[in-house]
C-alpha cells in the first residue's frame, strides 16, 4: 500500500509537502469486518492528476467491493462551491457488495479519507452520483449539488408529475415548493436523479 517514489515527489510538489509514502496505507487501514485486508491495485500519474485504486477483502478473503475504489487528486481544479480553484479529490467509484452496505464500512472509510484530504490541503470532494448515489451522498454524507437551481427545477417538475399520476389516499402529495435544505429532498425524488454533480467542502 506504499506510494511510489515518483508519486510522492509529484504530490509533494503539486499538492502538499506533508505527503508521506504510507499515507494511503494509514488511511485505508481501519478495523471493520469488510476491511480485513486491502490492496493498492493501481497508482497512476497522469497529465495533471494522480489516480489510485484500492480493493478490500472481508474475513473470508472475499472482495468487499464489486470493483475497486477509485479516487484522483487534481491540483488547481475549479471549485464548485466557492468558485476559484484549489486542490480537488474526485470520487470515481465506491460500490460495496450488499453485505458491506449499511454496516458502518463507508462511514469509517470516508472519515479516514477526510482526515487525509485535510492534511493534503484538499478543498473539495467532487463526484457524479448515479443510481442510489444521490440519496446516500446527500442524505448520509452531506454532499451538495453543483447546480442547486437545476435541482430545484427538477424537483418542481417531479412533484407536479407525481400529483398528476399518483392517485392514492394513503400517500401525501409532495409540496410543489422545493425544500429549503438539500437534505430535505424526498428520497423518492433523489432516486430519479441520474448524473447528479455533487461536491463537499473539506473542513
pLDDT tens-digit map of 6-56 = 999 999 999 999 999 999 999 999 999 999 999 999 999 998 999 999 999
Residue 94 phi/psi, 5° resolution? -160, 100
Cα(196)–Cα(128) distance, integer angstroms: 5
What sign does the dihedral 131-138-135-113 (CA atoms) show? positive
Cα(54)–Cα(25) distance, integer angstroms: 10
pLDDT tens-digit map of 27-39 = 999 999 999 999 9
pLDDT tens-digit map of 130-186 = 888 899 999 999 999 999 999 999 999 999 998 888 765 556 888 999 999 999 999
The C-alpha cell of 28 is what?
Answer: 485505508
Q: What is the pLDDT of residue 33?
A: 97
Q: What is the pLDDT of residue 163?
A: 85
Give the N- to C-terminal CA distance of the chain in Å, as an integer.
Answer: 26
| Total count of residues recorded for the chain | 203
In DSSP notation, 167-199 reads --TTSPPPPSSPPSSGGGS-HHHHTT--SEEEE
The C-alpha cell of 43 is what?
Answer: 497508482
Give the SS3 label for residue 2.
coil
CB 106 within 8 A of CB 94: yes
Residue 35 phi/psi, 5° resolution? -135, 50
CB 1 within 8 A of CB 28: yes
Q: Is the pLDDT of residue 118 over 90?
A: yes
Cα(151)–Cα(52) distance, integer angstroms: 31
pLDDT tens-digit map of 65-107 = 999 999 999 999 999 998 899 999 999 999 999 999 999 999 9
Contacts of 170 by beta carbon, 8 Å cutoff, 6+ apart:
none
The pTM assigned to this predicted structure is 0.93
Element (H, E) at 25: helix 23-28
Q: Is the pLDDT of residue 3 over 60?
A: yes
Q: What is the pLDDT of residue 170?
A: 54
Cα(45)–Cα(6) distance, integer angstroms: 9
Nearest to 101 by CA among 66, 72, 143: 66
Amino acid at each position: 500500500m506504499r506510494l511510489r517514489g515518483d508519486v510522492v515527489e509529484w504530490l509533494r510538489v503539486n499538492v502538499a509537502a506533508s505527503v508521506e509514502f504510507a499515507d494511503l496505507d494509514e488511511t485505508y487501514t481501519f478495523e471493520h469486518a469488510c476491511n480485513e485486508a486491502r490492496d493498492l491495485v493501481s497508482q497512476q500519474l497522469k497529465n495533471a492528476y494522480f489516480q489510485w485504486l484500492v480493493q478490500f477483502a472481508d474475513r473470508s478473503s472475499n472482495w468487499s467491493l464489486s470493483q475497486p475504489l477509485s479516487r484522483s487528486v487534481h491540483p488547481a481544479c475549479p471549485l464548485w462551491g466557492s468558485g476559484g480553484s484549489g486542490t480537488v479529490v474526485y470520487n470515481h467509484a465506491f460500490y460495496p457488495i450488499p453485505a458491506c452496505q449499511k454496516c458502518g464500512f463507508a462511514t469509517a472509510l470516508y472519515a479516514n479519507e477526510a482526515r487525509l484530504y485535510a492534511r493534503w490541503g484538499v478543498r473539495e470532494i467532487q463526484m457524479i452520483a448515479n443510481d442510489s448515489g444521490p440519496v446516500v451522498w446527500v442524505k448520509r454524507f452531506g454532499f451538495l449539488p453543483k447546480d442547486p437551481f437545476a435541482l430545484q427545477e427538477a424537483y418542481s417538475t417531479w412533484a407536479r408529475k407525481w400529483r398528476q399520476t399518483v392517485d392514492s389516499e394513503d400517500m401525501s402529495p409532495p409540496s410543489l415548493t422545493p425544500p429549503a435544505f438539500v437534505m430535505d429532498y424526498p428520497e423518492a425524488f433523489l432516486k430519479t436523479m441520474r448524473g447528479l454533480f455533487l461536491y463537499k467542502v473539506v473542513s
